[in-house]
């Protein structure tokens, strides 16, 4: 009994800080943009965090709010974003957006928010913000293994008219310039992020669609199985990178 | 859903005569009116025209805005702490609709 408790205690210890495999995309930002992201009073993504904080307490028609079950998000949601995507109860891979929507439809008995809608972006950003500075740590074993392998295959598969794989740019030539921008390693620790190109905040899947378009490949839907598996793979690639949401990107 | 409209950051207290820095971020699309949607229709212009800040009975800051200003305009300026009171920020859009945000400032001798 005591030994089991001790063991559980040991297992609960945070893993020693590891050196991440890849660089956070903010390492490739200009000093100005880096400062904009770091300053809570200037980062435009914080507008969505404010919105999320209000939505967290807003009650659905059944009288329940996020806060009715989860209480204070600054406590209960700490570290949540670091563990997503993960496999849900029904064997489906869920990222933060889908997890929030699952709560909404199954617990609050309210209609799901559309992917990329303002309330879903706001809640996702608010939840992700509670893990600020915590290292990404998704699980890729057991039931997640199939999704992980699928994502890994996607990352390495050549696609589109330009016949490029994600790996060719984001592993091969990361750090070099692609027109006015610098190619990053494809780390996802700052999403949802405010992109200057969009003039607004957007989800990771919106960013992935932009990448797909860039190589003239099929753009999958927001929340599609393809992008979810890829998100899991990218989250694993980003392991030990500190969460920065909402990031500021070009 | 009503969106969060503004974030104003400034010190809550200051000594009389101190210069305080004020940062005001406002949520707005700042649609310039030059872009078209995916059907080729012009997206109507929708911008914030001005930001005005009143403090201690005087206008301490005013800015006129134009279509070239990016979405969610972020403005940093400074003023001198003269009296305990409210700073009232008013953003006015083209149709005359206003967004008002108030921040108290406590001034010590």
Q: Where are the domains of chain A?
A: 1-13+20-61+69-250
Interface probe with A: pick from B11, B21, B25, most Cβ of A within 10 Å: B25
Give the residue from chain A lying closest to B9, CA to CA.
A41
For B57-101, write each residue's pLDDT tens digit. 999 999 999 999 999 999 999 999 999 999 999 999 988 899 999
> Is A211 annotated as catalytic?
yes
Query: Are A195 and A202 a contacting pair, CB within 8 Å?
Result: yes
Q: Report the pLDDT value the prediction gives residue A28, as an integer from 0 to 100.
A: 94
**Are B1 and A55 a contacting pair at CB < 8 A?**
yes
Q: Which residues are CB-neighbours of A23 under 8 A, at least 6 positions away?
A: A174, A184, A185, A187
Assigned token pair, B93: 């859009």
**Cβ atoms < 10 Å from Cβ of A32:** 9
**Are A46 and B7 a contacting pair at CB < 8 A?**
yes
- The partner residue sitting opposite B25, judged by closest CB among A47, A54, A55, is A47
Give the residue from chain B lying closest to A47, CA to CA.
B4
On the CB side of A217, CA atoms within 13 Å amount to 21
Distance from CA of residue A140 to its chain's centroid? 15
**Are A118 and B1 a contacting pair at CB < 8 A?**
yes
Q: What percent of chain A has pLDDT over 70?
A: 93
Give the residue from chain B lying closest to A120, CA to CA.
B1
Interface probe with B: pick from A36, A44, A54, most Cβ of B within 10 Å: A44
Domain ranges of chain B: 6-32+44-108
CATH class of the domain at A1-13+20-61+69-250: mainly alpha
Q: What is the distance between the alpha carbons of residues A20 and A135, in angstroms, rounded to a whole number?
A: 9
Interface probe with A: pick from B22, B72, B103, most Cβ of A within 10 Å: B72
Query: Are A26 and A37 a contacting pair, CB within 8 Å?
Result: yes
Q: Report the pLDDT value the prediction gives residue A18, as an integer from 0 to 100.
A: 75
For A185-238, write each residue's pLDDT tens digit. 999 999 999 999 999 999 999 999 999 999 999 999 999 999 999 999 999 999
How close does chain A come to B71, measured CA to CA in Å?
A: 6
**DSSP secondary structure of B83-104:** SSEEEEEEEEETTS-EEEEEEE
Q: What is the distance between the alpha carbons of residues A207 and A218, in angstroms, rounded to a whole number?
A: 14
pLDDT at A16 over 70: no
Using a CB-CB cut-off of 8 Å, the residues of chain A touching B69 are none
How close does chain B come to A54, measured CA to CA in Å?
A: 9
Assigned token pair, A249: 């990107």
CATH superfamily of B6-32+44-108: Immunoglobulins (2.60.40.10)
Assigned token pair, A195: 């992109």
Using a CB-CB cut-off of 8 Å, the residues of chain B touching A51 are 1, 3-4
Q: Report the pLDDT value the prediction gives residue A180, as an integer from 0 to 100.
A: 87
Residues 38-77 of B with CB under 8 A from A: 70-72, 74, 76
Query: Are B81 and B105 a contacting pair, CB within 8 Å?
Result: yes
b (16+ CB within 10 A) / e for B52-83: bbbbbeeebbebebeeebebbbbbeeebebbe
**Are B30 and A199 a contacting pair at CB < 8 A?**
yes
Using a CB-CB cut-off of 8 Å, the residues of chain B touching A199 are 29-30, 70-72
Q: How does DSSP classify residue A159?
A: B
| Three-state secondary-structure class, residue A8 | helix
How close does chain A come to B26, measured CA to CA in Å?
A: 8
Using a CB-CB cut-off of 8 Å, the residues of chain B touching A47 are 3-4, 7, 25, 27, 72
pTM of the model: 0.90
Query: Are A222 and A206 a contacting pair, CB within 8 Å?
Result: yes
A6 burial via Cβ count (<10 Å: 0-12, 13-18, 19+): exposed
For A136-176, write each residue's pLDDT tens digit. 999 999 999 999 999 999 999 999 999 999 999 999 899 99
How close does chain A come to B79, measured CA to CA in Å?
A: 18
Q: What percent of chain A has pLDDT over 90?
A: 87
């Amino acid at each position: 009994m005591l030994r089991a408790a001790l063991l559980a205690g040991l297992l609960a210890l945070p893993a020693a800080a590891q050196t991440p495999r890849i660089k956070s995309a903010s390492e490739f930002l200009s000093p100005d943009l880096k400062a904009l992201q770091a300053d809570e009073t200037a980062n435009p993504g914080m507008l969505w965090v404010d919105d999320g904080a209000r939505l967290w307490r807003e009650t659905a028609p059944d009288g329940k709010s996020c806060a009715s079950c989860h209480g204070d998000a600054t406590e209960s949601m700490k570290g949540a974003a670091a563990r997503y995507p993960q496999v849900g109860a029904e064997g489906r891979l869920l990222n933060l957006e889908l997890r929030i929507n699952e709560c909404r439809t199954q617990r609050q008995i309210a209609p799901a928010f559309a992917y990329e809608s303002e309330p879903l972006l706001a809640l996702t950003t608010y939840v992700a913000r509670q893990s600020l500075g915590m290292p990404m740590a998704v699980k890729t074993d057991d039931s997640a293994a199939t999704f992980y392998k699928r994502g890994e295959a996607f990352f390495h598969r050549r696609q589109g008219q330009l016949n490029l794989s994600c790996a060719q740019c984001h592993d091969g030539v990361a750090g070099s310039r692609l027109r006015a921008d610098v190619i990053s390693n494809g780390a996802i620790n700052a999403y949802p992020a405010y992109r200057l190109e969009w003039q607004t905040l957007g989800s990771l899947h919106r960013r992935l669609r932009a990448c797909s378009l860039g190589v003239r490949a099929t753009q999958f839907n927001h929340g599609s199985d393809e992008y979810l598996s890829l998100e899991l793979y990218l989250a694993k690639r980003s392991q030990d990178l500190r969460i920065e949401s909402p990031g500021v990107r070009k | 859903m009503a969106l969060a409209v503004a974030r104003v950051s400034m010190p809550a207290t200051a000594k009389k005569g101190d210069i305080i820095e004020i940062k005001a971020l406002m949520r707005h699309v700042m649609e310039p009116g030059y872009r078209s949607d995916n059907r080729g229709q012009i997206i109507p212009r929708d911008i914030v025209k001005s930001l005005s800040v009143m403090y201690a009975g005087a206008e301490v800051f005013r800015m006129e805005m134009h279509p070239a200003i990016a979405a969610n305009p972020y403005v940093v300026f400074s003023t001198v702490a003269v009296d305990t009171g409210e700073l009232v920020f008013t953003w006015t859009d083209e149709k005359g609709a206003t967004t008002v945000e108030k921040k108290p400032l406590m001034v010590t001798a």
